[in-house]
Amino acid sequence: MIQIHGIILAAGKGTRMNSSKPKVLQILSDKTLLGHVLTQVQKLCSKVHVVYGFGGDQVRKHINDDSINWVEQANQLGTGHAVQQAMPHIDDDSISLVLYGDVPLIEKSTLNNLITQAQHNGVALLSVVLDNPVGYGRIIRQNNQIQSIIEQKDANKEQLAICEVNTGIMAVNSGLLKTYLDGLDSNNAQGELYLTDIIEMAVSDGKTVASVITDNEFEVAGVNDKVQLAELERTLQQNQATRFMQQGLMLKDPARFDCRGNLSFGQDCEVDVNVVVEGKVTLGDNTTIAPNCVIKNTIIGSNVSILPNSVIEGAIIGDGASIGPFARIRPEANIGENAKIGNFVEVKKSTIGKGSKVSHLSYVGDTTIGDDVNIGAGVITCNYDGANKHQTTIKDGAFVGSDTQLIAPVTIGKNATIGAGSTITKDVPDSHLSLSRSRQTTLKNWERPTKK
């Protein structure tokens, strides 16, 4: 089986990004631009070579993939020169697939088609027809066969009117590619070694250049500034939303939904506007997410209601639970079946038992709450002493009155009751009432101070 070598050109600085990061490390959805390309290429290629230049240490550190052959292009002397840097690592009897680290939406199926054409013809080129081709190299054809590529700066008026343009992505027999690269010169408007010149060489050599034309211009769109990055973000999100709806997810407005990771869902789930999904998120059946929620790396069960303006990260939400509105569920929270976490409640590294309620204005941290517990408004588990975190345990059926502070480590017994306004510093036995309040004092004939 013939080997496929992916060559990703990623040496550019990306000046128009106005960023300290190399262009290929700009983020699109949940990945870098280069990361998106690698995801597709690594499915097809036996070996991937990344040609890096500006910010190379940053790029290598961020990607952190030992399977990649990193090749430095110390001086940026054109695309042909960039590909030359990788060729010593590639066998002649393989196929070289040339891509760009700032073209993130390229599809695996398109690349597979390109590779197949190169195996039959030796050279295959990916092009696209644009309504506005300004800035791109034009495809020159004769009798419908590709003859050459002329760059924008070198094109005459007639050539500039051509709408079929070069994407820069090609697949070439590696032995042929090495020969053609050795014949490149810099006699052009930019004084660089153009990779595109190998097309004319191949034609002169009697080769037929196979043509693959994509009808999706965003698939081959490069990113040069933040405006283009935002345009591709919206395209990616729209494509994801369409796919999710086709699979059965109800999106109230697909234009106002972002998935920056992986979302899986059961039947009859509904997501309202301005919801952001990050990382790996799973929804059961019949679960609804209300507007303005952020859900990250979380497993949500069936028949769950996530109410507006809630933020959930690194948690497990049991079947039938209700979260929010305005709730914050932090990492390592496990919310049990039919539990209720209400408005302005924060839960961190805690387990909330089946049917328990923390309805409003409370903080629960480093706590284990049993089943059918009721936590009143304004209750705080004081888990941090300034140096260490401590555990609170609240057993089944307990009732904690409003505005109570539980000073950890402390255990509240089964079916115990804590009177409102208490500060609890000692364990409370099962089925007991505990409270700690100062005695109320009422003064007769007291006069409120008046302003002088």
Q: What tens digit of pLDDT does each residue of 260-281 get?
A: 999 999 999 999 999 999 999 9
The tokens for 100 are 């760009």
Question: What contacts 307, CB < 8 A, 6 or more positions away?
Answer: 290, 322, 323, 324, 325, 327, 343
**Stretch 84-92: mean pLDDT:** 96
- pLDDT for position 191: 84
- pLDDT for position 205: 92
- pLDDT for position 359: 94
In whole angstroms, give the CA distance from residue 195 to residue 448.
87
**Stretch 344-371: mean pLDDT:** 98
The tokens for 424 are 């609890």
Q: pTM value?
A: 0.89
Residue 75, pLDDT above cutoff 90: no
For the question of residue 120 being annotated catalytic, the response is: no
From the list 104, 133, 93, the residue with the least C-alpha distance to 1 is 93
**Stretch 423-433: mean pLDDT:** 97
**Stretch 343-352: mean pLDDT:** 98
- pLDDT for position 446: 87
- pLDDT for position 237: 97
**Which pLDDT band holds residue 82 (cuts at 50, 70, 90)?**
very high
- pLDDT for position 94: 96
- pLDDT for position 451: 87
Query: Residue by residue, what is the 3-state secondary structure of the chain?
Result: CCCEEEEEEECCCCHHHCCCCCHHHCEECCEEHHHHHHHHHCCCCCEEEEEECCCHHHHHHHHCCCCEEEEECCCCCCHHHHHHHHHHHCCCCCEEEEEECCCCCCCHHHHHHHHHHHHHHCEEEEEEECCCCCCCCEEEEECCEEEEEECHHHCCHHHHCCCEEEEEEEEEEHHHHHHHHHCCCCCCCCCCCCCCHHHHHHHHCCCCCEEEEECCHHHHCCCCCHHHHHHHHHHHHHHHHHHHHHCCCEECCHHHEEEEEEEEECCCCEECCCEEEEEEEEECCCCEECCCCEEECCEECCCCEECCCCEEECCEECCCCEECCCCEECCCCEECCCCEEEECCEEECCEECCCCEEEECCEEECEEECCCCEECCCCEEECECCCCECCEEECCCCEECCCCEEECCEEECCCCEECCCCEECCCECCCCEECCCCCCCCCCCCCCCCCC
- pLDDT for position 167: 95
Taking all residues of the chain, what is their mean pLDDT, rounded to a whole number? 95
Question: Is domain 248-434 annotated with CATH 2.160.10.10?
Answer: yes
**Stretch 85-111: mean pLDDT:** 96
In whole angstroms, give the CA distance from residue 113 to residue 124.
9
pLDDT in tens, 145-159: 999 999 888 899 999
Out of 5, 62, 360, 390, which one is annotated catalytic? 360
From the list 325, 304, 326, 324, the residue with the least C-alpha distance to 316 is 304
**CATH 3.90.550.10 placement within the chain:** 4-220
Residue 59, pLDDT above cutoff 90: yes
- pLDDT for position 156: 93
**Which pLDDT band holds residue 438 (cuts at 50, 70, 90)?**
confident
pLDDT in tens, 310-342: 999 999 999 999 999 999 999 999 999 999 999
Question: What contacts 176, CB < 8 A, 6 or more positions away?
Answer: 122, 123, 202, 205, 207
Share of the chain above pLDDT 70, in %: 100
- pLDDT for position 33: 97
| Cis amide prior to 133 (ω within 30 degrees) | no
Residue 69, pLDDT above cutoff 90: yes
**Which pLDDT band holds residue 98 (cuts at 50, 70, 90)?**
very high
**Stretch 229-257: mean pLDDT:** 97
Residue with tokens 């089986």: 1
On whether the CB atoms of residues 283 and 259 are closer than 8 A, the answer is: no
In whole angstroms, give the CA distance from residue 94 to residue 178.
11
**CATH 2.160.10.10 placement within the chain:** 248-434
Question: Is domain 4-220 annotated with CATH 3.40.50.2300?
Answer: no
Residue 189, pLDDT above cutoff 80: no
From the list 33, 162, 150, the residue with the least C-alpha distance to 99 is 33
**Stretch 81-100: mean pLDDT:** 96
